[in-house]
Amino acid sequence: MNRAPLQRISEVTQRFPRVSLTHTPTPLEFLPNLSRHLGVNVHVKRDDCTGLAMGGNKARQLEFHFGEARRRCADTILITGAVQSNYVRMAAAGARKCGMDCHVQLEQRVPHMDECYNRSGNVLLDRLFGATVYDYPDGEDEHGADSNLERIAESLRAEGRRPYIIYLGPDRPPIGALGYVLAARELINQRDNLGIRVNRIVVASGSSHTHTGLLMGLRIAEDLTPVTGICVRRNADLQRDRVRNCASDLEGMLALAETVTAGDIDVRDEVLAPGYGRVSEVVMAAMRMAAKLEGLLLDPVYSGKAMAGLFAGVSDGYIQPSESVLFLHTGGLPAIFAYQSAVEEALHGQPENAGIGASRLT
């Protein structure tokens, strides 16, 4: 293939500082048992294997945030996220790897959760990394959460510290999305070297930085493969706007003309209910099926919901039997332990094929 478009990805991202935090390239694997059951070919891009603190997609994003933090001579990282945030966990680990302190703010996004949720999984790892932990009561106030980070940063500056804030809200430059602009180059190289046909990529879509960065990288490389984002926090209309705005901001950062069009933005919210961080039968069914057929672990909040979205797409015909689908595994595995009660309940009572097209599984 023509390598010039791939080189363009390097050219537009190279002016942004970056540190090495990941084990890349991550594997690209065929899932034969799952493919046979679903009736479509499914490959998985194993970004749960990025290496940093049990892996996950956020490691690629953090390489650019920590690059910018070092450029500013920061000695402390501040970040906000849900109680079981994978981003927070990996930022705390990255801070230690880069010789920095870390202050993390945990937002109460998921109500009525048990003690295991509030103490195990990512929270336990945050504390193991020695992060200073703050609580924030409102999980649906991105601006308020960011503003509170700024107040914490101000108090740290008064102590002579040099903090760098990783913001949550969409009104900040999407620095983390650069990690998946570069990941698109890695993915294209692997696909072509292995001779794999990919008709569609399926990925969890939350902050949208992974979804948008990957989509942007593909289009910069003149690759028109559709990217389907499975909504994990907002409905499809809100998430479509989120991706569109992030793409516009990213184009501005990279000094590009319009690269991602409205027609490129594909989001689906059929498996979003009952909401962010809440477990449903279809998500647990997807987690069980991936584990039992492929020994592949998924988390309840992101990768499990994205796989459930893939299953739903097959069941309703949105994904055709002739397609070859690449599933981007975003990690998040420590959260399995925080959702122990829900997982145990599913193991004891849920029909194995709940929410999956039964006709495909016979």
85 belongs to the catalytic site: yes
Out of 51-65, 109-123, 343-357, pick the least confident: 343-357
Q: Which CATH number does the domain housing residue 157 bear?
A: 3.40.50.1100
Mean pLDDT of 258-286: 97
Same domain? 191 vs 229: yes
Pick the range with the lowest mean pLDDT from 96-110, 190-204, 301-315, 336-350: 336-350
How many residues make up the chain in this entry? 362
> Structure pTM?
0.95
Domains contained in the chain, number: 2
Which pLDDT score, from 0 to 100, does residue 1 have?
52
pLDDT of residue 350: 56
Asked if 20 and 63 touch (Cβ cutoff 8 Å), the reply is yes
By the 10 Å C-beta count (0-12 exposed, 13-18 middle, 19+ buried), 241 is classed as: middle
Give the rounded percent of residues in the chain with a pLDDT score beyond 90. 93
Task: Give yes or no: residues 68 and 18 share one domain.
Answer: no
> Are 130 and 202 part of one and the same domain?
no
Residues 62 and 51 grouped into a single domain: no
Of 10, 85, 207, 303, catalytic: 85
Q: Is the Cβ–Cβ distance between 77 and 27 less than 8 Å? A: no
- Comparing C-alpha atoms, which of 14, 65, 46, 37 is closest to residue 303? 46
Residues 70 and 186 in one domain: no
| 47 & 108 share domain | no
Q: Which structural domain, as residue segments, surrounds residue 141?
A: 58-166
86 and 96 both lie in a single domain: yes
Same domain for 324 and 220?
A: yes
Look-up of token digits 């706007």: 241
Give the pLDDT of residue 353: 53
Listed residues 166, 183, 198: the one ending a domain: 166
Same domain, 262 and 301: yes
**Together in a domain, 69 and 131:** yes
pLDDT at 359 over 50: no
pLDDT at 57: 98
